Chains A and B, each alone.
Chain A
Amino acid sequence: MEKSKKLIGVSLLSVMVLAACGEDSAQEAGAGDGEDFYDENDLEMIVPTSPGGGSDIQARFMAPFLSEHVPGSPDVQVVNIAGGGTITGSNEFALMREPDGESSLWGSISTTTAYLLDEEGVEYDYDNFTPVLGYPDGGVVYVSESTGIEGPEEILEAEEELVYGGTSATGLPLTILLSFEVLGLDVDGIFGYESSGPARVAFEQGETNVDFQTTSSYVSNVEPMVEDGDALPMYTIGQIDEDGELVRDPQFPDLPTVKEVYMDIYGEEPSGEAWEAYKAFVGAVFTVQKVLWVHDDIPEEALNELVEGAETMVEDEEYQQEGEEVMGYEPFVGQEIQEMMPRLLDLPEGTEDWVKQFLNENYDLEQ
């Protein structure tokens, strides 16, 4: 009986832990001197995916650092609102949260793609948001050794039909499909894989022979294959610099970009609508991929303190060191990202229509 009492005690304790986790864990008494906005206020960070994904992990990693560095040390609470391919949570942030400086949105690639292609259900508008902090992402397109391709310049000379597998033509694979179009590469696209993990396994099985993985997954899962000679990297997705040019990915300084591969093959710079569309999408969904957004009409002191907090946070040595693996790239903060985002999100005239038509013609998608 003594033992069971103890065990009941333990279970009660865990119930209490559960209950405590449901609420803000440590409500700080707002006894500040009233100088800082966040003395009296806390910050909610909405993550529009379920817990555990890449962008959720980043938000959870960042939260305690942000709390430490924003003047007034607000509680920074990560809240997952999953659904509709990040649309649900983003809508909820846009429509249901007051612009009082107490909530923010950690948007991801799907949030931006859905916005750019004006997908069903999108009710948020980036024009009404202000970015505080943003992180790039990148990745590598690679082929199987079975294709007989020995280097990027031979990519058009595969010995077998090229087959690429991905989730859905309008998701993350869109930019990759555009890169094939730029290179004039004839690739059979197979869609329906649950995420890029199973797509990578399909590559290993030989079900597909061209694949793309984002940086962290490439490093941990594909590089071993490259070392064994089973896979060969072709090009990186690249980044768009201040002048709107495609440049090499800082994580893969030795791998060429699509532009370099094109120049190697065709002897001239790429041009045309496919090229413009590719650059536009690389800029909008890779060069800055994860963004911490707030409403653009939050109190000015709130925005200033958030920016100040983010700026000191990214200088924090502990944050830099431990964040290397979780974040991967160097962030853009404050003024810098506020100037960048409108430029990156502004698709050239006609690009949206061209991309929709491209999807329609090649992948039978009525957008």
Chain B
Amino acid sequence: MLETLVETLAIVLDGSRLLYMLLGISIGLTIGLLPGLSGTVGMSILLPFVYGMDPYAGMALLIGMVAVVHTGDTFPSVLLGIPGSSGSQATIMDGYPLAKKGQAARALGAAFFSSMIGGVIGGVILFSIIPIVRPVILSLGSPELFMLALLGLSMVGILAGKSPFIGILAGLFGMMLGVIGSAPSVPEYRYTFDWLYLYDGIPLPLVALGLFAFPVLIDLLVGKKSISESSALSGKWFEGVKDTVKHRWLVLRSSILGAVAGFIPGLGGSVVDWLSYGTAKQTSKNNETFGEGDIRGVIAPESSNNAKEGGSLIPTLMFGIPGSGTTAILLGGLLLMGVEAGPRMVTEELSLTMSIIWTLVIANIIGAAACLILTRPISRFSLISPSKLVPFLTIILIVGAYQTSQHWGDLLLFVLLGIIGWIMVQLDWPRAPILIGFVLALAAERYLWISVSRFDWEWVYRPGVLIIAGIIILIFGSSYWISKIGALKGAKAKGGNV
């Protein structure tokens, strides 16, 4: 396998393929930069062009694009508090406060550097897991997948912060939004009000944009202040890099979490940033500064969202089951180039798989380097006065919302969800639980349904199920315990650490 890996590097670095990769990277960065556009959009744009290309060049283009979307999407998350794609929402929690303090460059430096490391680790995991991938995937039956969905939902407790009750309510509200549309196992439609637009459910990008981007627009207009409260950009990106090195274990942990979450088909890939943020908050010392501009709150989600791409390619390439919209189109792209995903990807097509790993690693490095260079000029955005910025943003956001299904319903829902998001911001209610509930609702329902109709209730005693249940109880227990201790500590050292 190692031999093939080395041989493939020469294929990947061949002139024209390298150019395709660079083109892919620049498109990926641009798509990440524009709020509302995700890797899925990038894929659909590039798909028509890969027909007739040789698979190595085509994959260089597609993977180069996907690899860096979650690098470029950090700019709007940090600078504007608007998610650049649905994978970088958690970055807002601490990245945006840092930008407000004038430390945008530091936050971006940390984000890009940890994205780079995360992406590379994702590639390494993809490589090292190849020999054991079948038994691992095959051990995850529907009952285990249901428990994993529950594990994801248990994050709601952590992300709810000071108000667990409201957090759980928000999570339930998210689940309600998630069940709109066709039911997973019977041909029935729920809460669609006979409106065909709702038959497929609410698109995820709309929920993300509405909850997180719309309130920012209003605040910018009302506040009439530029995002950075101090007029000078004091932080340097190199400081961020140093921060990342200082928290290297956090980077490693978050990257592994990201790759694993991406690897589990049909689950969590789109909320991996939140899972990682929640876990980081949960397991870090002095975590009371999270949410107020803690650099660790930037490093954790950014490491994991790039690592996720490596993980999510595993079920896609080796089983032909896409874990997300992006990988679904990637499968189509492969087919257009005459390659069918499946077990053969690690036997006859091994060198293609290796080239994908190389592309992932190289693209992550180039993409992060490009972003680091662009940090200074782009950081100035946070100094622009809102009256100049808002019209531009409004147009981008509306276009971004409208492209999700190109139906006027997109705009209506964007505004509706936006108003809900804005009210929640005013009341200081956590919004992340809505998103987690929304994403995991259908997965939880689907796998519970299948588990019960296949095994009645005997699935409860499966070892995998019991292990995951233990982890969930641990998380709940520790979050209760930590909040108790935190409250005690907080009372003692009031306002000590900022």
Contact = CB atoms under 8 A, between A and B. Distances in A.
A190 B370 contact: no
Interface residues of A, number: 67
Contacts of B33: 11
Given A14-B23, A52-B333, A168-B187, A121 B446 contact: no
B45 A18 contact: yes
B373 A52 contact: no
25 contacts: A8-B374, A11-B30, A14-B23, A18-B27, A18-B45, A51-B43, A52-B322, A52-B330, A60-B51, A64-B51, A81-B406, A83-B197, A84-B182, A84-B196, A84-B199, A88-B199, A168-B187, A190-B450, A191-B185, A193-B446, A200-B319, A207-B141, A224-B344, A365-B187, A367-B187
B7 interface: no
A83 B189 CA distance: 13
Nearest to B451: A207
Interface stretch (A138-146, A213-221, A299-307): A213-221
A121 B186 contact: no
Nearest to A167: B185
B453 interface: yes
Interface in A98-156: 119-121
Contacts of B319: 197, 200-201, 221
A197 B320 contact: yes
A53 B454 contact: no
Nearest to A78: B48
Contact of B446 (A194, A197, A201): A194
Closest A-B pairs by Cβ, 7 of them: A192-B185, A52-B329, A52-B332, A197-B321, A84-B199, A220-B340, A51-B44
Greatest chain B CB density within 10 A among A14, A78, A88, A193 is at A14
B115 interface: no
Interface of A: 3-4, 7-8, 10-11, 13-15, 17-18, 21, 50-54, 56-57, 60-61, 64, 78, 80-85, 87-88, 91, 119-121, 163, 165, 168-171, 190-195, 197-198, 200-202, 204-205, 207-208, 216-217, 219-221, 224, 322, 325-326, 365, 367
B391 interface: no
A175 B481 CA distance: 55
Given A50-B325, A51-B43, A10 B26 contact: yes
Nearest to A325: B338
Contacts of B200: 82-84, 88
Contacts of A200: 319, 321
B342 A52 contact: no
Nearest to A9: B26
Nearest to A77: B48
B137 interface: yes
A205 B134 CA distance: 10
A3 B406 CA distance: 37
Interface string B39-64: 00001110110011000000000000
A29 to B, nearest CB: 22
Contacts of A51: 43-44, 47, 329, 332
Interface of B: 22-23, 26-27, 29-31, 33, 43-45, 47-48, 51-52, 137-142, 182, 184-187, 189, 196-197, 199-200, 265-266, 319-322, 325, 328-333, 335-336, 338, 340-344, 370, 373-374, 376-377, 405-407, 446, 449-450, 453-454
Main secondary structure, interface of B, reads helix
Contact of A4 (B199, B343, B377): B377
Given A52-B325, A325-B340, 9 more contacts: A4-B376, A8-B377, A10-B22, A10-B26, A88-B196, A88-B200, A192-B450, A220-B341, A221-B343
A14 B235 CA distance: 30
A85 B199 contact: yes
A193 B196 contact: no
A18 B43 CA distance: 11
A202 to B, nearest CB: 7
Contact of B321 (A82, A88, A201): A201
Given A17-B27, A83-B200, A192-B185, A7 B373 contact: yes
A82 B450 contact: no
Main secondary structure, interface of A, reads helix
A121 B342 CA distance: 36
B44 A52 contact: yes
A91 B265 CA distance: 32
Contacts of B450: 165, 190, 192-193, 202, 207
Contacts of A4: 373-374, 376-377
B65 to A, nearest CB: 9
A123 to B, nearest CB: 9
Given A11-B29, A13-B26, A326 B335 contact: yes
Nearest to A63: B48
A91 B341 CA distance: 32
Contacts of B44: 50-52, 80
A108 to B, nearest CB: 14
A190 B70 CA distance: 37
A257 B174 CA distance: 47
A50 B47 CA distance: 12
A83 B405 contact: yes
A120 B138 CA distance: 37
A44 to B, nearest CB: 14
A356 to B, nearest CB: 12
A336 to B, nearest CB: 27
Contacts of A17: 27, 45
A190 B43 CA distance: 33
A173 to B, nearest CB: 11
A326 B185 CA distance: 29
A98 to B, nearest CB: 19
Contacts of A191: 185-186, 453
Given A4-B373, A84-B199, A201 B30 contact: no
Greatest chain A CB density within 10 A among B33, B142, B374 is at B142
A204 B138 contact: yes
Contacts of A85: 182, 199
B197 A220 contact: no
